[in-house]
Each structure stands twice: as structure tokens, then as C-alpha cells.
Amino acid sequence: MTTTPPPVRSALADGREILFYSLPGNIAHPVSDVRPLAARSSSTQSVVRRDRQTGDWVAIAALRQDRTYKPPADQCPLCPSPAGDRSEVPAADYDVVVFENRFPSLSHAGDGASSLHADARQAPGIGRCEVICFSSDHTASFADLTQAHARLVVDAWRARTEALMAMDGVEQVFCFENRGEEIGVTLSHPHGQIYGYPYLTPRTTSMLRQAREFAESHSSNLFADILATEVDDGRRILIADEYFTAFVPFAARWPVEVHIYPNRHVHNLTELTDVELDALTAVYLDVLGRFDRMYAAPLPYISALHQFRSEGVQADGYFHIELMSVRRSETKWSEPLVRRGSRRSG
């Protein structure tokens, strides 16, 4: 396969980093961001507080109250800005771009090791929140991308996973996409987000606890057993090739839910080979295409990439992708995700 060129790095008017990833043969040409943005201040940075009822950490970020909310298409902050004066992407065009979120939930990346110890009630919001734009086409979707373009997104996910995992204080890297107003999306441009958390999120903590208990009682990996059980059963398998399997989980929580597993145990995207990354891209596009063909209108969905470190409490983790939708028929919906405890981001 053709090697993806390294990203072109630039900076936005307030000092945030922006990276342009290009398809082979394309070259990104960022221009100066001339918007009058104030430099980021420590007074606006986030904190994390422990919920004493559950033990979970909660990010408190007042700055997010000011984030852009459902702008008209001609004011989209994710479309290219050839003059560098009206969006977050100062360039005439781009293939894939990643930049630090202007309104982050976590905003102390690189400030040192996290201080989240057992007795802490509050700590600086160590971590990093990034936006990844899948295409400069405002009306496109991930499912519309070519294999090569979608693979570029996967490469960007992989590169940012590696970079964020190396940052001081980052415990978990979580790539996700929310699509559709019914999910809570406030920007319709095709994009996702990448979070570097200073703690393990509640679902990750639960999964790892189950995996550790299973390993201690069965001397094998929980996720590998789940995959083997689904393959043996066969009734819920959607796609199966040499490298990946996509299936409807036995205990599906949502009207539409599909999980994608690699056929070998890896912890995160950085451990996949080029051949496996190609296969993942193809399977992912296949699943999203099926989602969009279910009904007359595109299916709103959440896509979550569950990644783990290879050592310590995360060693039992198994990289996989979970996709889900609240839509249960052509005209009916389940109750909003926010009421069922899922996080919403736009």
C-alpha cells in the first residue's frame, strides 16, 4: 500500500495545534488563522471532580457553555476557510484534519502527571480533547468516503492514539463519532472527537473488571471468548473475514447495535498491521453502509473505539468498536441517550 505522508502541522490563532492529513499526491496548504481569538487562560481550564456516590470522575468545563450550536451551513466552523478568517480550518481545502477543541472538557494536556489519587475530590482537568474532521465536504458522511479516504481517517486515529497515550497524565484514549441531531450532535459537518482522559471511563472500568474476573476464573481473555462464542453461534454475524468480525452482540443494549472485533487480540489501533488496518477500514465502511440502507433517511448513530494500554490494569482489554443507534423503526425512537446514561458530544 502507499504510505500516508506525515501530517502538516500548524497553529490556530489562540495557539491550539492543528494537523492536516492528506491522501498520497495531495499536499495541505494551511494559511494563517487571522481570527481575533483570545489566548487560552488558566481561569477557563477544566477540573475533574469525584462523584462520591459512584466513585466516577466528572469533568467540569464552564467554557463548553460557549460552544457553537447548530450554525447554518455557511457558518460551519469545520468547513475550509481559504482566508483564515471564519472557521477552525484555515485552508482552502483538506482531506482529514485534527485540531485541539476550542471548547474542551479536558484542557491541561502536557501539564504533568495526573493527581487523581484515591483521596482526591478535585484535580486539574489533565487530558486533551481533539476534533477530527473526516472530509472538507459539509454534506458528506463517513459512509460516503472512499476506501483510501476512510483509511486516512483510520491512520489519523492511530497516530493520535499513539501521541495521546504518550502524554503525561493521559490514562485512556477514546475516539468516537456521534452522527445525527437525535443523538445530540450540534455540528452536522462529518466529524468525530478524540479524548485523552486522565482516568478510565465508567464503561471501560466495568469492562476491565469483568475481564479480570473472567481471566482469574477461566485463565483466558473475556473478549476473545465473546468473539469465539459469537462465531460458533453464527446467527448474529454480519461480516467475517480473515482479520475482523462484525456481529450483533448477544446482550444488545440498543435497537441497532453492532460490534467489530479483530480476530486476534490487540489492545489498540497501534498494534494492528497495515493489512489489518485495510481490513478494518473495509469492514467499518460496510457496517456504516448497512446502517444508511436500513431506512429512507440516514441512521443516526454513535461509534465508539474502545482502546486499552497493553500493561497494568488495562492488559486484559481487547480493542473493538461499538456502533449503536436509538432508532428502532422508520418512524420510532428509543428514549434519548442522555436519559440512559450515555455521554453526548457534538
Q: pLDDT per residue over 175-187, tens digit each?
A: 999 998 888 888 8
Same domain, 213 and 316: yes
What is the percentage of the chain residues whose pLDDT exceeds 90? Answer: 73
pLDDT, position 165: 96
Quick one: 196 and 211 in the same domain?
Answer: no
Of 200, 224, 253, the residue at which a domain comes to its end is 200
Q: Are 135 and 98 in the same domain?
A: yes
pLDDT > 50? residue 346: no
Give CA torsion, residues 208, 212, 214, 216, to 10 deg.
Answer: 180
Q: What digits encode the pLDDT tens for the residues 287-325?
A: 999 999 999 989 999 999 999 999 999 999 999 999 999
pLDDT of residue 21: 98
> Quick one: 309 exposed, middle or buried, by C-beta within 10 A (0-12, 13-18, 19+)?
middle
Q: Please check whether residue 167 lies inside any domain of the structure.
A: yes
Higher pLDDT, 147 or 4: 147
Q: Is the pLDDT of residue 254 over 50?
A: yes
213 with 77, same domain: the answer is no
- 167 in the same domain as 229: no
Q: According to the model, what pLDDT value does residue 334 have? A: 72
pLDDT at 103 over 80: yes
In a domain, residue 68? The reply is yes
> What's the rounded mean pLDDT across residues 331-336?
68
Q: What pLDDT is stored for residue 66 in this prediction?
A: 64
Task: Say which CATH number the domain at 262 has.
Answer: 3.30.428.10
Report pLDDT for 183: 83
Question: CA 26 to CA 23: how far, in whole Å?
Answer: 5
Residue 339 has pLDDT above 50, yes or no: no
Evaluate if residue 13 carries a pLDDT over 70: yes
Q: In what order do the strands lie in the sheet with 237-240?
A: 8-11, 17-21, 96-100, 128-133, 191-197, 172-179, 301-306, 320-325, 256-262, 244-247, 237-240
Instruction: For residue 338, name the pLDDT band (cuts at 50, 70, 90).
Output: very low
* Structural domain boundaries, residue 333: 204-340
Q: Would residue 1 count as lying in a domain?
A: no
- Is 3 domain-assigned? no
Domain total in the chain: 2
User: Is there a single domain that holds both residue 56 and residue 177?
Assistant: yes
Kindly state the DSSP code that residue 66 receives in the 8-state scheme: G
Does the pLDDT of residue 210 top 80, yes or no? Answer: yes
Q: Are residues 47 and 83 in the same domain?
A: yes
Any domain includes 35: yes
Same domain? 31 vs 177: yes
Q: Please indicate, yes or no, if residue 326 is contained in any of the structural domains.
A: yes
191 catalytic? Reply is yes
346 part of a folded domain: no
Asked if pLDDT for residue 94 goes beyond 80, the answer is yes
Q: What is the mean pLDDT of residues 270-285?
A: 98
Domain co-membership, 191 together with 82: yes
Output the pTM of the full model: 0.92
Q: Please give the pLDDT value at position 77.
A: 96
> In 10 A of CB 15, how many CB atoms?
10
Sign of CA pseudo-dihedral 203, 208, 209, 214: positive
pLDDT of residue 3 exceeding 70: no
Calculate mean pLDDT across residues 10-25: 96
Q: Using CB atoms within 10 Å of the CB of residue 288, give its burial: 0 to 12 exposed, 13 to 18 middle, 19+ buried.
A: buried
Last residue of a domain, one of 141, 172, 200: 200
208 contacts 224 by C-beta, under 8 angstroms: no
User: Are both 196 and 269 inside the same structural domain?
Assistant: no
| pLDDT at residue number 134 | 98
Please indicate, yes or no, whether residues 31 and 162 belong to a single structural domain of this protein. yes
Catalytic residue among 108, 149, 189, 191: 191
pLDDT of residue 1: 47
Q: Does residue 143 sit in the same domain as residue 273?
A: no
* Any domain includes 2: no
- The reported pLDDT for the residue numbered 223 is 98
Domain-terminating residue out of 200, 222, 241? 200
Q: Are 159 and 7 in contact (CB under 8 A)?
A: yes
pLDDT of residue 162: 98
Percent of the chain with pLDDT over 70: 90
Least confident of 71-80, 119-128, 215-224: 119-128
